[in-house]
Amino acid sequence: MSPIQEVIINKKTSINPIWIMRQAGRYLPEFREIRANNPDFIKLCLNHKLSSEITLQPLKRYNLDAAIIFSDILMVPYGINQKVEFKKNFGPLLGDLNLDKILSIQEDSFIERLKPVYKALETISNNDLTLNKSTIGFVGAPWTLMVYMINKQSPKIKLKSNFFNDQLLIKKILFILEKFLKIHIKNQVDSGAQIIQIFDSWAGLLEDKDLPYYIYNPTFNLVKFIQSLGIPVICFPRNIKDYKKYCDYIKPDAICIDYEIDPLIIRKDIKIPVQGGLDPKVLLTDKENIKKEAKRYLDIFKDHPYIFNLGHGVLPETDPNMMEYLVKTVKDY
């Protein structure tokens, strides 16, 4: 069993495996080189040779304990026929929602559209670089995907004021997302994913009263499904106010925390394995501070099953040498 599985499944403490959200990405010059020649981001995700190469890039540099497939949560809206593009200096831009088109999509054609993702996972899990490491597959949570599908752009820019107006549309989208997310998960697992992470990046946008309908129930259904496949699931409900309530409802195998939440509260309240927390901005400072801040998390979780990670994705302006220093600090702890 790989170290991350030891932590999640056997609740091992003090082994401190590490992987980093967005570990394959823009802070790496070797990624930027490929990206410069591949301006269409979706096409890049669908190029299994390049996406598997990009996935393995950080493992060639650093002693990480997992490979996370280079893909995107928005590949699922793409797979069910909503147009998705990534505009430079703007982010994702989605096409108009044509519900008839989306409701008519067949399982086979969805799998066909996303086949390169599954092919890349096969390549990665068979590569020697992932020996005794975990291969992580992922999906966006239904809520976060619906935000992009209806809003058609990042809510970071603006969540449309009429977002919640059409409740029938919302109900249908949640229904269809549950169906195709399960298909996407099953195919990732069949292609070698040993762990699934669910990213709910916009969980923090909702008020408490709306959590059961938009987050707890739909995510719980996915978690149950993943567990029925015999695979552990890590949930990352970024900026959620009450992590304990989230875990009590959803019962993931591990919980990934953001950098706003006090890790001491998490240690006190949460009984399941914990992942992450360190502010990605710490990597923009100096070695002394990186060591101090990393040690703070390692000290707090020293008697708790803990997977080291950041509290959100690594920032594009991060110096790859600082990443190397962080990994070494965690490994030497």
Give yes or no for a contact between 20 and 247, defined as CB atoms under 8 angstroms apart: no
Residues of span 203-222 touching ligand 1CP by CB under 6 A: none
Per-residue interface string for the shown chain with ligand 1CP, residues 148-177, x marking contact by CB under 6 A: ------x-x---------------------
For ligand 1CP, which is the closer residue by CB, 12 or 148?
A: 148
CA distance 302 to 208: 31
Kindly state whether residue 26 participates in binding ligand 1CP, applying the rule CB under 6 A. Answer: yes
- Name the residue nearer to ligand 1CP (CB basis): 35 or 267: 35
CA-CA distance, 277 to 292, in Å (whole number)?
A: 14
Which residues in 301-320 contact ligand 1CP (CB under 6 A)?
A: 313
Hey, is 8 helix, strand or coil? helix
Q: According to the binding rule CB under 6 A, does residue 281 interact with ligand 1CP?
A: no
Q: Per rule CB under 6 A, is residue 268 in the interface with ligand 1CP? A: no
- The sign of the torsion formed by the CA atoms of 285, 254, 237, 233 equals positive
Q: Report the residue from 3, 17, 25, 273 that binds ligand 1CP according to the rule CB under 6 A.
A: 25
| List 110, 138, 143, 246, residue binding ligand 1CP (CB under 6 A) | 138
Which CB sits closer to ligand 1CP, 41 or 333? 41
Contact, 177 vs 142, CB < 8 A? yes
The yes or no reply on residue 86 touching ligand 1CP (CB under 6 A) is yes
Interhelix angle 320-332/48-61, rounded to 10 degrees, is: 60
Side-chain-facing half-sphere of 26: CA atoms under 13 Å: 8
The answer to whether residue 266 forms part of the interface with ligand 1CP (CB under 6 A) is no
Judged by CB under 6 A, which stretch of 22-30, 203-211, 220-228, 287-295 contacts ligand 1CP?
A: 22-30
Report in angstroms how near the CB of residue 35 gets to ligand 1CP at its nearest: 5
Write the DSSP assignment of 233-270 as a string of letters: EEEE-TT-S-HHHHHHHH--SEEEE-SSS-HHHHHHH-
Residue nearest to ligand 1CP (CB): 154
Residue owning tokens 């209806």: 150
| Least distance in angstroms from the C-beta of 123 to ligand 1CP | 15
Alpha-carbon gap, residue 12 to 49, rounded angstroms:
35
Number of H helices, E strands in the chain: 15, 9
- Give me the sign of the Cα torsion angle 55, 58, 59, 64: negative
The single residue among 6, 13, 34, 35 that binds ligand 1CP, judged by CB under 6 A, is 35
Burial degree of 151 (CB within 10 A; 0-12, 13-18, 19+): middle
Binding mask 42-71 for ligand 1CP (x = CB under 6 A): --------------------------x-x-
Q: Please say which residue, 32 or 287, places its beta carbon nearer to ligand 1CP.
A: 32
CB burial of residue 198 (10 Å; 0-12, 13-18, 19+)? buried
3-state secondary structure of 156: coil
Contact segment (CB under 6 A) with ligand 1CP among 86-94, 105-113, 272-280, 324-332 equals: 86-94
Cα–Cα distance, 256 to 305 (Å, whole number): 12
- Measured in whole angstroms, the distance separating CA 142 from the mean position of its chain's CA atoms is 13
Of 66, 73, 203, 256, the one binding ligand 1CP by CB under 6 A: 73
Q: Residue 325 interacts with ligand 1CP (CB under 6 A)?
A: no
User: What's the closest the beta carbon of residue 303 comes to ligand 1CP, in angstroms?
Assistant: 28
**Contacting residues toward ligand 1CP, per CB under 6 A:** 21-26, 35, 41, 68, 70, 72-74, 86, 91-92, 138, 154, 156, 199, 201, 313
